[in-house]
Structure 1
Amino acid sequence: MTTMKEIAVKTGVSVSTVSLVLNGRDKGRVKADIAQKVKAQAKAMGYRPNPLARSLRTSHTRIIGFISEEVATTPYAGNIIVGAQEAAANLGYMLIIVSADGSYEEGKQIAALKRYGVDGFLYAKMYNRVTNVPATLSSHPVVIVNASEPTGRYSSISPNEFTIGYDATQYLLAAGCQRIAYIGDSEPILAQGKRFNGYQAALKDAGQAFRPELVTQVSRNQEAMDSVEHMIQGAHPDGFFCFNDSRSWYVYEAAARRGLHIGQDWSLVGVDNHRVFAETVAPRLTTIELPHYEMGYWATCKLISHIEHIDPSTMTLPATTAPLPPLQADGTTLIHCQLLEKESVVNH
């Protein structure tokens, strides 16, 4: 492991000069040509700063605690972690991830992260909801991921569920659909209500009447399939917006039983870009992708701006599938979700 003393010997300067340069404290103290020489030599020798020594000097560990509720074990929501890790690495931080699925367990995990001296916390949920941040985190910087918080005290990022419903329905309308069905979720979760409202708003803006007979809100399995079949028989839709990709399977099944073809006879849009459906159904399902990677990346950048007390507008965000919102906003931030055009919508 290369030391500052070795770099000092190679460059012919003092160890204190090397320390100033490599710790970013050389401005006004070290001539620019010497600082450049030190940096070049450090790079050539493969110098890496000692995180422990740096944390003792600065009182910062450059470690972020990621508190996950089933996120780590969920196939597509796990991309929140991927986005958070990439942002953390790009900004010189590392992530410690813990899974907390109950109030008692969550408290133990938070206490453990505090013992590591983490600089701040990402508090993430598996699906979008309104949540309360544990009181034990009140003295630390916190950003909420895939959820929102009622007081507005904490920065948060979550999908814009209303525009998911609006964009999917508008896309079907643009394809020429006149009788668009909504296959929703029977559970009264936040995403269900918002997406349904977006569906209704798009119909209204297009001058189409809302028809209750074109709506069925289902759970899973045979009961759900029977409900979708009953709706199709009675209401005769030509387009379908499904709460998620898994519910679109009932439409594929219903079309097959009738000798109809998705993308030719019926149009269909789902939500999730779920890997199983994306790779197996034919024709491929047009879907709205939930921006899990983007939320993880944005939340990490936002958290680090709080930790380091820097202007978030100075931070560079990458180009992503769903464009990242500006970092300047406080409170609840909504991210617009991207519709991925595939083959399940009739091309008029």
Structure 2
Amino acid sequence: MTTMKEIAEKTGVSVSTVSLVLNDRDEGRVKSGIADQVRAMAEKLGYKPNPLARSLRTSKTRILGFISEEVATTPYAGGIILGAQAAASQLGYMLITVNTDGEDSEDEEITALKRYGADGFLYAKMSNRYTDVPESLASTPLVLVDATDRQGRFPSVEPDEIRIAHDATTRLIEAGCQRIAYIGCSEPMLAQDRRFEGYRTALEDAGRTYDESLVCNVLNNGPALQAVSELFDSQRPDGFFCFNDARAWYVYECAARRGLFIGKDISVIGVDNHRVLAETLEPQLTTVELPHFEMGYWSVCKLVSMIEKRDLDDIDMPETTAPLPPLDSPIPAMIRCTLIEKNSVAQRA
């Protein structure tokens, strides 16, 4: 492993000079030409800083704690962790992820992460919701992921739920659908309220009259399928915006039982871009992809900017399905999700 002493010998300067340069403390202390030579030699020799030594000097461990509620065990939401890991690696941090199943477990995991000396924390929920942040995290740098602090004390990032529904409903209107149903979620949650709002607003923006008889809020399994079936027969919708891809399956099932063709007789749009559903259904489901990777990546960048007290203008942001909002976005930062066109929306004649 290349040492600072070797770099000093190769460039003909002192070890202290090399230390100043490689720890970014050379401004005003080392001539720019010499600093450039040191950095060039360090790169040539493949110098890698020692994280432990750096942490002893700076009192920073460069460890981030990721505290999740079921996110780590949810396949399609695992993209949050992938995004967080990608950003942490790019910024020179290590991410430690823990999964909790209740308040007692959560307190234990937070205590353990603090013993590791984590510089900051990400606090994630499985689905977008208001949440109460544990007081044990209140005094540390903290960013919420797919959740909003009920008291508005901490930065957070979440999908733009209203735009999800507005974009999907508008797409159905553009496809020529005249009677657009909303298959929602009967469980009270932030995402449901906002998606319903976006659905209704899109209709009104297009000069349509909102009809509550076209709204069917369900949970799952047999009762949900029966409710959607009754909606088919009583209201005869020709377009369906579904709270998620799982609920779109009920529409496919009801259409098949009636000899109706998805993408021809009726149009359907879901939310999630859940691989098992969106790509297995035939025809494949047009859906809005939730920005799991983007939320994870943005949250780490925001957290590091808070820890290091800088704006991170010098890093290259990755190309993502949904555009990343600026780090100084109003809180909560909203990510406008991307509608993935497949084959379940009829072509307008």
User: In structure 1, how many angstroms separate the alpha carbons of the residues matched to 2:10 and 2:101?
Assistant: 53
Equivalent residue, structure 2, for 1:204: 204
Matched, 1:63 2:72: no
1:66-85 equivalent positions in 2, closer than 5 A = 66-85=66-85
1:94-173 equivalent positions in 2, closer than 5 A = 94-173=94-173
8 Å CA contact 2:148, 2:156 repeated in 1: yes
User: In structure 1, how many angstroms separate the alpha carbons of the residues matched to 2:2 and 2:155?
Assistant: 40
Equivalent residue, structure 2, for 1:276: 276
Percent of aligned pairs with the same residue? 63
CA shift for structure 1 position 37:
2.3
CA shift for structure 1 position 313:
6.0
Tell me the SS of whatever aligns to 2:147.
coil
User: In structure 2, how many angstroms separate the alpha carbons of the residues matched to 1:329 and 1:183?
Assistant: 32
In the alignment, residue 317 of structure 2 is paired with which amino acid?
A: L
User: In structure 1, how many angstroms separate the alpha carbons of the residues matched to 2:82 and 2:272?
Assistant: 17
Tell me the SS of whatever aligns to 2:95.
strand
User: In structure 2, how many angstroms separate the alpha carbons of the residues matched to 1:264 and 1:84?
Assistant: 40
1:35-46 equivalent positions in 2, closer than 5 A = 35-46=35-46
| CA offset digits 1:286-322 (Å, max 9, x no partner) | 1011111111111111111111111366665333211
CA shift for structure 1 position 191:
0.9
In the alignment, residue 345 of structure 2 is paired with which amino acid?
A: V
The number of residues matched between the two structures is 348
1:288-307 equivalent positions in 2, closer than 5 A = 288-307=288-307
In the alignment, residue 225 of structure 1 is paired with which amino acid?
A: L
User: In structure 2, how many angstroms separate the alpha carbons of the residues matched to 1:48 and 1:313?
Assistant: 23
8 Å CA contact 1:177, 1:239 repeated in 2: yes
8 Å CA contact 2:279, 2:285 repeated in 1: no
Equivalent residue, structure 2, for 1:29: 29
Name the CA shift for 1:120/1:335 in 2 (closer, same or farther; >3 Å): same
Q: CA RMSD in A?
A: 1.5
CA shift for structure 1 position 22:
1.2
| CA offset digits 1:103-135 (Å, max 9, x no partner) | 011111111111111111001111000001110
User: In structure 1, how many angstroms separate the alpha carbons of the residues matched to 2:331 and 2:272?
Assistant: 25
User: In structure 1, how many angstroms separate the alpha carbons of the residues matched to 2:130 and 2:229?
Assistant: 33
| CA offset digits 1:238-257 (Å, max 9, x no partner) | 00111100111111112222
Structure 1 runs not aligned, ≥5 long: none
User: In structure 1, how many angstroms separate the alpha carbons of the residues matched to 2:48 and 2:317?
Assistant: 25
Name the CA shift for 1:312/1:153 in 2 (closer, same or farther; >3 Å): farther
User: In structure 1, how many angstroms separate the alpha carbons of the residues matched to 2:43 and 2:205?
Assistant: 59
Structure 2 runs not aligned, ≥5 long: none
Equivalent residue, structure 1, for 2:3: 3
Equivalent residue, structure 2, for 1:19: 19
Structure 1 runs of 4+ with >4 Å offset: 312-316
User: In structure 1, how many angstroms separate the alpha carbons of the residues matched to 2:251 and 2:237?
Assistant: 11
Equivalent residue, structure 2, for 1:252: 252
TM-score (norm 1): 0.96
User: In structure 2, how many angstroms separate the alpha carbons of the residues matched to 1:194 and 1:26?
Assistant: 51
Larger displacement relative to structure 2 (203-212 or 78-87): 203-212
User: In structure 2, how many angstroms separate the alpha carbons of the residues matched to 1:305 and 1:38?
Assistant: 27
In the alignment, residue 323 of structure 1 is paired with which amino acid?
A: P
Tell me the SS of whatever aligns to 1:113.
helix
User: In structure 2, how many angstroms separate the alpha carbons of the residues matched to 1:316 and 1:290?
Assistant: 22
| CA offset digits 1:61-114 (Å, max 9, x no partner) | 111111011111111111111111111111111111111121011111111111
1:302-321 equivalent positions in 2, closer than 5 A = 302-311=302-311, 317-321=317-321
8 Å CA contact 1:153, 1:331 repeated in 2: no
User: In structure 2, how many angstroms separate the alpha carbons of the residues matched to 1:311 and 1:4?
Assistant: 29
User: In structure 1, how many angstroms separate the alpha carbons of the residues matched to 2:344 and 2:9?
Assistant: 67
User: In structure 1, how many angstroms separate the alpha carbons of the residues matched to 2:103 and 2:130?
Assistant: 16
CA shift for structure 1 position 330:
4.7
User: In structure 1, how many angstroms separate the alpha carbons of the residues matched to 2:314 and 2:33?
Assistant: 27
1:232-243 equivalent positions in 2, closer than 5 A = 232-243=232-243
In the alignment, residue 8 of structure 1 is paired with which amino acid?
A: A
